[in-house]
Amino acid sequence: MVFNITSISVEENIDLAELRLYTLVQRDRIMYIGVDRKVSVYEVMENDAGFHLIDSKHIYGRDSAWETFDVTSAVRRWVHKFNSIQILEIRIESVFHSVSMGDLDILTKNSNKNEPLLVVFSSDDRKRKLHENERHELVTHEMDMYDVQDDLSVDSPSNDNITDDTNSDVVLNRFKRRGRRHAVCRRKPMYVSFEEINWDSWIIAPRGYQAYECTGRCYFPLSDHLSPTKHAIIQSLVHASKPRKVSRVCCVPTKLDPISILYIDEQGIVTYKYKYEGMVVSECGCR
């Protein structure tokens, strides 16, 4: 089977690529048993170099269904090959060679709702890098402003450059307080017991977990490692000159990780979920 992936830019990161095949099962009507087969996906190499195994799966099925194969490594190679045709070959083998238990086939007809699909999940690095560069420029400008104001506060007794009911000593002290490491925005442990919050009635395991929390303040100038947004940088600048009119930016989670849980779902069925998203604070920043 052949797929057209010319619409994918070489600048994009291929996060995941899946080949989805609809398997047709023809059962033995007398024995009423399923089909036990091994389905393998091969990449046909160029210049008659043979075949490269990408993914394989042992399938035991009683009914026709969709099966998913990971072809990420192959698609990543294909994106950088502009003028070549990339071909996948599907092989179906019987697990028990001496026993016939019905047939399994792959539906490949065009214009059919169950035809093979190549699903690609990608991210454009250009936008992320552009955003990071712009943010870094703002942080640099902010640090330069801090240095200038610091020099003015030390060298000049005048407070003409300070506005909104503040004086040079107050502003300078506020800037210096950001050096107290215990007060700066950071992640700290926060253990959560499901029993204490009455979640043990539906979460079987674990009994609790380390969730972490974000604590501390976001001082001017904002550090780049706190991954501030452009809006947060602007707000911190305005807050530095007008603290009574504009609030300080907040220390909040900027990245969350999942945990695995065993729980009872809405239908009363015990369910295991490997990735229960958004449960653990991985990184903190200023927003």
User: For position 34, what pLDDT does the model report?
Assistant: 55
- Classify residue 207 as left (phi > 0), alpha (psi -120 to 50) or beta: alpha
Q: Which of 54-58, 112-116, 238-242 has the lowest mean pLDDT?
A: 112-116
One domain for residues 135 and 272: yes
170 part of a folded domain: yes
**What band does 61 get if pLDDT is binned at 50, 70 and 90?**
low
Looking at the fold, whether 153 and 205 belong to one and the same domain comes out as yes
The mean predicted confidence, pLDDT, of the chain is: 75
Count of the separate structural domains present in the chain: 2
Q: Are 37 and 92 in contact (CB under 8 A)?
A: yes
Q: What is the CATH number of the domain that holds 35?
A: 2.60.310
| pLDDT tens track for 141-172 | 555 555 544 444 444 444 444 334 444 344 44
Whether the Cβ atoms of residue 220 and residue 147 lie closer than 8 Å to each other: no
The answer to whether residue 121 sits within a structural domain is no
What's the rounded Cα separation, in Å, for the pair 103 and 159? 87
**Residues 167, 62 share a domain:** no
Task: Please indicate, yes or no, whether residues 28 and 165 belong to a single structural domain of this protein.
Answer: no
Residue 122 lies in a domain: no
Say if residue 147 is in the same domain as residue 107. Answer: no
Torsion angle, CA of 277/280/286/287, rounded to 10 degrees?
Answer: 30
Same domain, 190 and 257: yes
Higher pLDDT residue, 125 or 234? 234
Q: With bands split at pLDDT 50, 70 and 90, how would you rate the model's confidence at 104? A: low
- pLDDT of 86 higher than 50: yes
Report the pLDDT averaged over residues 61-66: 74
For residue 106, pLDDT beyond 80: no
With a pLDDT cut of 70, the percent of the chain lying above it is: 67
Q: What is the pLDDT of residue 111?
A: 52
Backbone angles phi, psi at 165, to 5 degrees: 60, 30
Range of the domain at 64: 12-115
Task: Tell the burial category of 38 from Cβ atoms under 10 Å away from its Cβ (0-12, 13-18, 19+).
Answer: middle
Burial of 70 (0-12, 13-18, 19+ CB in 10 A): middle
Are 156 and 109 part of one and the same domain?
Answer: no
Q: Verify that 135 and 111 share a domain, yes or no.
A: no
Which tokens belong to 187? Answer: 């992640």
Within a domain: 166: yes
Per-residue model confidence (pLDDT) at position 178: 45
What is the pTM for the complete model shown? 0.45
Q: Do 111 and 240 reside in the same domain of the chain?
A: no
Q: Does a structural domain hold residue 156?
A: yes
